[in-house]
């Protein structure tokens, strides 16, 4: 399995990867991107099975990235991490068949422990 973590905050991104590695899941490849542009490049190169992405990251948002991947037709499991609880974001995530939507402070608190 291949996992791509897309998060513009380096501490959160690294912390999340540490937490996931400690779970001993069958993930062979861990990929990291700090922007939507970088996420698209890595996605096309490696075709990860699971993507954990932030929503707001600059010009290309996490939701834009998800919609791009969905337009290709690939079957990928997406999990969104975000500090935003805006209903429009949640609705757009649901339309794009996101597996889960996790509130960001949970991730920040988790990443600080490791």
CATH number at residue 91: 3.40.50.2300
Is residue 29 a part of any domain in this protein? yes
Q: Is the pLDDT of residue 100 over 80?
A: no
| pLDDT per position as a tens digit, 11-29 | 889 988 998 899 999 999 9
Average pLDDT, the chain: 83
79 DSSP β-pair partners = 52, 100
Is residue 114 a part of any domain in this protein? no
| Burial 12-43, CB ≥16 within 10 A → b, else e | bbebbbeebeeeeeebeeebbbbbbebbbebb
Is residue 113 a part of any domain in this protein? no
Is residue 2 a part of any domain in this protein? no
| pLDDT per position as a tens digit, 50-75 | 999 888 888 898 889 989 999 998 88
| pLDDT at site 5 | 96
pTM: 0.80
Q: What is the residue range of 88's domain?
A: 7-108
Residue 104's SS3 state is: helix
Is residue 48 a part of any domain in this protein? yes
Please give the tally of structural domains in the chain: 1
Strands of the 2-6 sheet, one edge to the other: 29-33, 2-6, 50-54, 77-82, 100-103
């Amino acid at each position: 399995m291949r996992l791509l973590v897309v998060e513009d905050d380096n501490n959160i991104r690294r912390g999340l990867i540490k937490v996931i590695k400690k779970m001993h899941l069958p993930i062979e490849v861990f990929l990291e991107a700090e922007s939507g542009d970088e996420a698209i490049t890595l996605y096309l190169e490696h075709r990860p099975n699971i993507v954990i992405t932030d929503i707001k990251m600059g010009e290309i948002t996490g939701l834009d990235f998800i919609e791009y991947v969905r337009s290709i037709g690939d079957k990928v499991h997406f999990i969104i991490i975000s500090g935003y609880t805006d209903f429009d974001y949640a609705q757009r995530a649901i339309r794009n068949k996101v597996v889960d939507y996790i509130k960001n402070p949970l991730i920040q608190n988790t990443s600080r422990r490791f």
